[in-house]
């Protein structure tokens, strides 16, 4: 069995004697760390349950949470809100029970949620002398945000690879 130093010595002779093999080998050695870095980054994104586009959105959310602009309420607790649809049998929920507002202050009492979106509107004038609705809580960490696409690393990996989902039977 040959040692690593002998193996490297033979490769150095081959690389110096044949320029084609040498250039391809050097190109491979220089680009391999880039491929490994992309693999590691995408493995992290699968673990986190997000796409590359969503990672930019999450950094924006993080800045808004740090600045104190984000407030959260549960759709199921808001009177007059469009109903929450339970999609627990789906691969991931399409709609969440959380509603987020990034206006810098929570909604005032007397607001209405629009059906097509989570936009907050007011009947009549938007009088700022109304009290703040106590259902809305200021977020202090992005951990309080619900990522509807994060199903756990194993299920995220199965979904990313397009493999069929096999449910484990629990007894």
Q: How far apart are CA 90 and CA 49, in angstroms?
A: 16
Residue 80 belongs to a domain: yes
Residue 155 belongs to a domain: yes
Residue 138 belongs to a domain: yes
Q: How far apart are CA 78 and CA 159, in angstroms?
A: 33
Residue 4 belongs to a domain: no
Average pLDDT, 10 consecutive residues per value, the chain (171 residues): 85 86 89 96 85 78 84 75 56 67 75 67 66 81 76 80 67 44
Neighbours of 2 (CB within 10 A): 8
| Cα dihedral sign, 79-82-88-91 | negative
Residue 134 belongs to a domain: yes
State which H helix or E strand residue 95 sits in: none
Provide the pLDDT for residue 127. 60
Provide the pLDDT for residue 55. 77
Q: Is 151 helix (H, G, I), strand (E, B) or coil?
A: coil
Domains in the chain, number: 1
Residue 141 belongs to a domain: yes
Paired strand residues for 108: 132
- Whole domain around residue 91: which residue ranges? 49-161
Between CA 84 and CA 106, with CA 140 as vertex, the angle to 5 degrees is 55
Whole-model pTM: value is 0.56
What are the tokens at 42? Answer: 């995408």
Residue 18 belongs to a domain: no
Provide the pLDDT for residue 36. 97
In 3D space, the residue among 111, 49, 103, 116 whose CA is nearest the CA of residue 72 turns out to be 103
Alpha helical stretches, state H, the chain: 4-17, 19-48, 52-67, 153-161
Residue 65 belongs to a domain: yes
Q: How far apart are CA 134 and CA 113, in angstroms?
A: 16
């Amino acid at each position: 069995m040959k040692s690593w130093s002998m193996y490297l010595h033979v490769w150095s002779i081959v690389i110096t004697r044949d320029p084609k093999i040498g250039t391809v080998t050097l190109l491979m050695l220089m680009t391999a760390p880039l491929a490994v870095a992309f693999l590691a980054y995408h493995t992290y994104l699968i673990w986190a349950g997000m796409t590359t586009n969503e990672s930019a959105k999450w950094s924006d959310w993080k800045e808004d949470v740090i600045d104190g602009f984000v407030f959260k309420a549960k759709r199921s607790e808001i009177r007059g809100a469009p109903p929450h649809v339970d999609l627990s049998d789906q691969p991931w929920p399409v709609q969440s029970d959380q509603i987020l507002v990034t206006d810098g202050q929570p909604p005032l009492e007397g607001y209405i949620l629009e059906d097509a979106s989570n936009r907050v509107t007011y009947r009549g004038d938007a009088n700022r002398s109304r009290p703040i609705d106590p259902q809305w809580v200021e977020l202090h960490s992005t951990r309080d945000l619900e990522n509807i696409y994060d199903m756990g690393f194993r299920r995220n990996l199965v979904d990313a690879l397009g493999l069929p989902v096999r449910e484990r039977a629990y007894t």
